């Protein structure tokens, strides 16, 4: 049997949380600042309090809109040669966003601000990893003007990767840029919509708030049917109740609020029921991403997603450690294993440490190994006549030739590659051999693999026609001012609220 699903909620408890969420959504509501969002919800039967911006969402609206949410969708790489399906049954793994620093042992402090060159390296490494299906904007490029980040990131992705990509739904202008750029890369808007390439990241602000800059972006991602991750990062004890059941209820309202909004923007828009919620460390007040409770919350999230029949996403491979020590190993594996065993369908887990503030390229390949191990664990134990192998047991045990083992048997040859996980980075040699090979630890072996990938990995590249179009687009973006953005997004006091979300070409200049 395959590994059974980790459960933290009984069926009755799932219903209790769902009912409590419905009460919360209909009596308290979810705060949504954007006028277009309020109008949209009101049109569909919600009540808006204009003084507090809280939108009270009745249960029937939730039920009605959940019917339209797809339970599976496909994601494609830039040239379309690579794709995978996300659904409510399978588990896929991706890297984890979004560190702002990178491990660099040439630096005195061992760490430095990341750059676009690092972002590119990360894309290239993910591309070469066996178990990691996708990445997103995972490493902050401090050397790029932040108003152009999304453009440079997407261009780097298209040049170097065959796998899909992802970015934050940070505003309608930037999100529309992403769609425009992706359309240039893949050849047409039609193809982008038909074969989605981009995963959107939508972040509610806990408790119970969907900020305008995010809903602006969600409108675009929903319009273009790019699967969007609706993921609160609530911290038990500070931005959500310290009680995990309370946190699960609160984030359920935040997630469902975002999912319903996506459907109202474009019925059938693909979404992930998601969370990167965890707990507060009560000693420091800091977030505790590597905590054991992260996995428990994640397991609850998986069960709630199952109730609504929506693919789920959560994090794994998370650690609060600032070094590559036992704490790092302990936390990254247990958060990953709990998420996988809970049946999360898309686990963002590779590459980070220091509570996702920092990245190490070595960790990308190590996490690829961990995912391999975890995937083996999920397979459980296969039981049938052949795997029980009474004949082979009898043969070896009763063999008159002393010292017969199973090592030389055809049965072993036949089954070993499926039964055993063959690690590439974990060392199981005896000490003398290990010494002879250089007494390396896993970080050193990972570094060798990183160097090898960077030496050999090649992406699809882009035609000169596409390169020129992208260069022109980026030039246009670079000429915008910050005021242009704040006004267009309606997020500054002096801005004008833009009623419709249609972006005309003139709006982009």
Partner 1 sequence: MTLEDNLKAKILEWDEEGLIEICKSAIEKNEASATDILKMIGNVMEYVGELYEKEEYFVPELIVASNTVKAAIDQVLDPAIKEMGVEKETKGKVVLGTVEGDVHSIGKDLVGSFLFANGYEVFNLGVEVPAAKFIEKAEEVGAKVIGLSSLLTMSMDFQRKVINELEQKGLRDKYIVIIGGAPTSEDWAGEIGADGWADDALETVSLLNNLLS
| Site for partner 1, rule CB under 8 A | 100, 140, 146, 205, 209, 211, 235, 237-239, 280, 282-286, 357, 491
Q: Is 78 left (phi over 0), alpha (psi -120 to 50) or beta?
A: alpha
> Given the complex with partner 1, which of 216 and 239 has the nearer CB atom?
239
Question: HEC states along 448-506?
Answer: HHHHHHHHHCCCCCCCHHHHHHHHHHHHHHHCCCHHHHHHHHCCCCCCCCCCCCCCCHH
Q: Which is nearer to partner 1, 303 or 356 (CB)?
A: 356
Helix ranges (DSSP H) in 163-317: 172-186, 189-194, 212-223, 244-265, 292-308
CB of 123 to partner 1, least distance (A): 19
Q: Taking each helix axis from N to C terminus, what angle separates 361-379 and 442-456, rounded to the nearest 10 degrees?
A: 100
Nearer to partner 1 among residue 284 and residue 500 (C-beta): 284
SS3 at position 160 = helix
**From the CB of 355, what's the least distance to partner 1, in Å?**
8
Cβ distance to partner 1 smaller for residue 31 or 449: 31
Least distance from partner 1 to the Cβ atom of residue 238, Å: 5
Give the residue with the Cβ less far from partner 1, 185 or 235.
235
Q: How far is the CB of 490 from partner 1 (least distance, A)?
A: 13
**Rounded to the nearest whole angstrom, what is the least distance from the CB of residue 334 to partner 1 in the complex?**
23
Contact 241/279 with Cβ under 8 angstroms?
no
How far, in Å, CA of 383 to CA of 352, rounded? 37
> Burial level of 243, CB count in 10 A (0-12/13-18/19+)?
exposed
User: Which residues have CB under 8 Å from 214's CB, separation 6+?
Assistant: 169, 170, 202, 203, 204
249 or 280: CB nearest partner 1? 280
Pick 218 or 240: Cβ nearer partner 1: 240
Smaller CB separation from partner 1, 78 or 168: 168
**Three-class DSSP category at 85:** strand
Nearer to partner 1, 74 or 112 (CB): 112
Q: How many other β-carbons are positioned within 10 Å of the β-carbon of residue 51? A: 6
**For residue 31, is the peptide bond before it cis, meaning its omega torsion is within 30 degrees of 0?**
no
Least separation in angstroms between residue 175's CB and partner 1 is 15
Minimum CB separation of residue 142 from partner 1 in Å reads 8
Q: Is 178 exposed, middle or buried (0-12, 13-18, 19+ CB in 10 A)?
A: buried
Instruction: For the CB of residue 77, give the shortest distance to partner 1 in the complex, in Å.
Output: 27
Nearer to partner 1, 267 or 286 (CB): 286
Q: Which of 161, 108, 141 is nearest to 151 (CA)?
A: 141
d(CA 45, CA 50): 15
CB of 286 to partner 1, least distance (A): 7
Please state the φ and ψ torsions of residue 137, each to the nearest 5 degrees: -65, 95
Is 122 in contact with 97 (CB distance < 8 Å)?
no
CB of 493 to partner 1, least distance (A): 8
**From the CB of residue 12, how many other CB atoms can be counted at a distance below 10 Å?**
8
């Amino acid at each position: 049997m395959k590994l059974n699903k980790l459960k933290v909620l009984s069926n009755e408890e799932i219903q209790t949380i769902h009912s409590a969420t419905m009460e919360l959504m209909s009596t308290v509501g979810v705060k949504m600042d954007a006028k277009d969002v309020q109008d949209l919800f009101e049109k569909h039967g919600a009540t808006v309090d204009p003084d507090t911006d809280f939108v009270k969402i009745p249960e029937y609206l939730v039920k009605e809109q959940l019917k339209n949410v797809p339970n599976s969708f496909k994601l494609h790489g830039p040239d379309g040669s690579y794709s995978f399906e996300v659904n409510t049954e399978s588990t896929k793994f991706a890297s984890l966003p979004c560190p702002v620093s990178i491990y660099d042992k040439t630096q005195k402090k061992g760490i430095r601000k990341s750059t676009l060159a690092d972002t590119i390296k990360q894309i290239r490494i993910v591309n070469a990893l066996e178990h990691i299906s996708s990445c997103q904007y995972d490493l902050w490029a401090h050397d790029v003007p932040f108003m152009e980040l999304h453009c440079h990131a997407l261009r780097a992705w298209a040049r170097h990767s065959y796998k899909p990509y992802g970015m934050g739904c940070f505003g309608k202008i930037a999100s529309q840029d992403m769609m425009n750029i992706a359309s240039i890369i893949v050849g047409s808007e039609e193809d982008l919509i038909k074969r989605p390439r981009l995963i959107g990241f939508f972040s509610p602000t806990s408790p119970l708030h969907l900020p305008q800059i995010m809903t602006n972006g969600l409108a675009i991602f929903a319009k273009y049917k790019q699967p969007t991750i609706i993921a609160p990062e609530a911290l038990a004890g500070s931005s959500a109740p310290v009680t995990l059941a309370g946190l699960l209820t609160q984030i359920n309202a935040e997630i469902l609020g975002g999912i319903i909004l996506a459907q109202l923007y474009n019925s059938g828009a693909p979404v992930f029921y998601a969370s990167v919620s965890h707990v507060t460390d009560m000693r420091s007040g800091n977030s505790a991403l590597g905590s054991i409770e992260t996995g428990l919350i994640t397991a609850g999230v998986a069960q709630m997603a199952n109730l609504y029949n929506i693919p789920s996403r959560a994090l794994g491979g998370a650690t609060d450690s600032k070094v590559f020590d036992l704490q790092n190993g302990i936390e990254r594996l247990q958060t990953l294993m709990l998420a996988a065993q809970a049946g999360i369908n898309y686990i963002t887990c590779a590459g980070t440490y220091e509570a996702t503030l920092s990245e190490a390229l070595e960790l990308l390949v190590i996490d690829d190994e961990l995912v391999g191990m975890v995937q083996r664990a999920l397979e459980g134990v296969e039981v049938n006549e052949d795997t029980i192998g009474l004949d082979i047991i009898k043969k070896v045990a009763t063999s008159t030739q002393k010292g017969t083992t199973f090592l030389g048997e055809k049965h072993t040859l036949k089954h070993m590659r499926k039964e055993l996980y063959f690690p590439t980075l974990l060392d199981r040699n005896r000490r003398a051999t290990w010494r002879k090979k250089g007494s390396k630890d896993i970080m050193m072996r990972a570094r060798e693999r990183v160097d090898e990938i960077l030496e050999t990995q090649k992406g699809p590249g882009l035609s000169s026609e596409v390169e020129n179009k992208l260069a022109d687009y980026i030039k246009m973006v670079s000429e915008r001012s910050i005021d242009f953005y704040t006004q267009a997004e309606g997020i500054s006091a002096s801005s004008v609220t833009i009623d419709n979300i249609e972006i005309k070409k003139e709006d982009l200049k």
